[in-house]
Amino acid sequence: MTRKIAIFDTTLRDGEQSPGASMNSEEKLIITRQLLRLGVDVIEAGFPVSSPGDFKSVQQIAAEADDKAVVCALTRAVEKDIDSAAAALEHCKRPRIHTGIGVSPSHIYEKLRSTPEKILENAVAAVKYAKKYVEDVEFYAEDAGRSDYEYLAKVTEAVIAAGATVVNIPDTTGYSLPDEFGRRIRFLMENVSNIDKATISVHTHNDLGMATALAIAGVQNGAGQVECTINGLGERAGNTAMEEVVMAIKMHGEELDAHTDINTREFIRASRLVSSISGFLVQPNKAIVGANAFAHSSGIHQDGVIKSRNTYEIIDPADVGASQSSIVLSARSGRAALRHRVEQLGYQIEGEELNQLYDAFLDLADKKKEVYDEDLESLIGEHNRNQKAYYTLKSVQISCGQPLIPTATVTLLDNEDREFVACSTGTGPVDALYKAVNEIVDIENELSEFAVQSVTRGIDALGEVTIRVTSGDGEVFSGRGADNDIIVSSAKAYINALNRLISHKEERN
């Protein structure tokens, strides 16, 4: 059996410290419920001494968590901080106090204006004081990533001897390289005599974009707990993203000799919830939970995924709560992707018909960033309407505006590929257009209904026009047309309706 790696979530503490990400008590409770659904081992609920609101939130989160997770409160190595944390956790079933102090030269000499000896003394005193309140005490060696190896080992051994059950080794500034950070954790595992009495935890930041790599390096070298946040939320460039480190452990469990108890199918839900509450949007190409994480736009990739998902996906989308892989149709998509999507929509189009549809698809895709299902259905409808058409639109040109007279020039092709051109004016561009068509298609009719709507979202969406015309016999025929240009859509719709009228008239005769 592989080692169990505890997942310590600090979305509600370190994550909330992101500028602009403040959450109220109710929002924190909503996120807490989702963290419990995920099955996190530890929830860092806040910094009680910092404000009455944070104190109250820690109390409420402790009550909500009941015995399902450890609830942790942060403190400095200061007695009043520890007193406040203990009071907030008084009725918690599984409390942990997280206390600590800086251990790097920068923190010791510049921030704290102290000495290594005094820092060691304060660290031990803080752990012993916290131990009076709770059995489970975690010590953080702030800025451990830039500390002296020997001194860090000395502090670690001393705080474990004082009663620390977990020792947190943070790369507070995101400075380390993965190999070096891994060596640091390995050094502690091999040189701290009482290391077996505590769990080593890693808390890494993303300042150089390596938070997840640093956390995994820690796990590879003996860390038994990873501290992280949903979506990588956190100060500056953020913390380790829980979804990334958990899925990395899941994919490489054997070689890491590690596993977690996280319900990974809750990741998408958790990501969207935290994004909604914090107001921090998730970038589309974010690993695991981004909108494009399981989306394929390249024709080569699409062909591979359609044949076998694992050609380009190492994770089943369902494993993280995503519905399915997404084939994004764009100008880079090939015939295989188009055929696949068309078949999913319930159509069977092959051979020359598929080639014609593909040409129409590429023409549309060149005008739009993405072609949606509704666009495809509209294209298929347009394709089908043109299969037995008596007239098709070749071109249309409109001149209108204030104070110009609306003028339309239309070119139509009949079913023998003969070309007809007409020009007309009207009260508006559509009126002028339809009068020009009537000069070519001489059949009695009256426009009785005209409607236009957007087929899909976005400013580049197809505009679909639906019309009804009434023949001289009083019969009604509908027509539909779609294009990025609603004037072209209007022309296609009218011609489609007239084709239906002509077909009906010929069948009757």
Q: Which spans in 388-482 are helix H? A: 429-440
Nearest to 261 by CA among 71, 34, 37: 37
pLDDT (0 to 100) of residue 16: 85
pLDDT (0 to 100) of residue 368: 61
Instruction: Please give the Cα distance from 144 to 413 (Å, whole number).
Output: 77
Spans of the chain below 70 pLDDT: 20, 291-318, 322-332, 341-342, 344-347, 367-379, 381-388, 455-460, 507, 509
Residue carrying the six token digits 């839900």: 269
Residues in the chain: 509
All structural domains of the chain, each given as residue ranges with its CATH number in brackets, are 3-278 (3.20.20.70), 295-383 (no CATH), 389-508 (3.30.160.270)
- pLDDT tens, position by position, 152-191: 999 999 999 999 999 999 999 999 999 999 999 999 999 9
C-alpha pair distances (Å), 219 with each of 177, 214, 246: 14, 9, 11
CB 119 within 8 A of CB 101: yes
pLDDT (0 to 100) of residue 245: 98
pLDDT (0 to 100) of residue 305: 46
Residue carrying the six token digits 């939130």: 57
Q: Is 299 helix (H, G, I), strand (E, B) or coil?
A: helix
Q: Is 478 helix (H, G, I), strand (E, B) or coil?
A: strand
pTM of the model: 0.69
pLDDT (0 to 100) of residue 276: 77
CB 41 within 8 A of CB 273: no
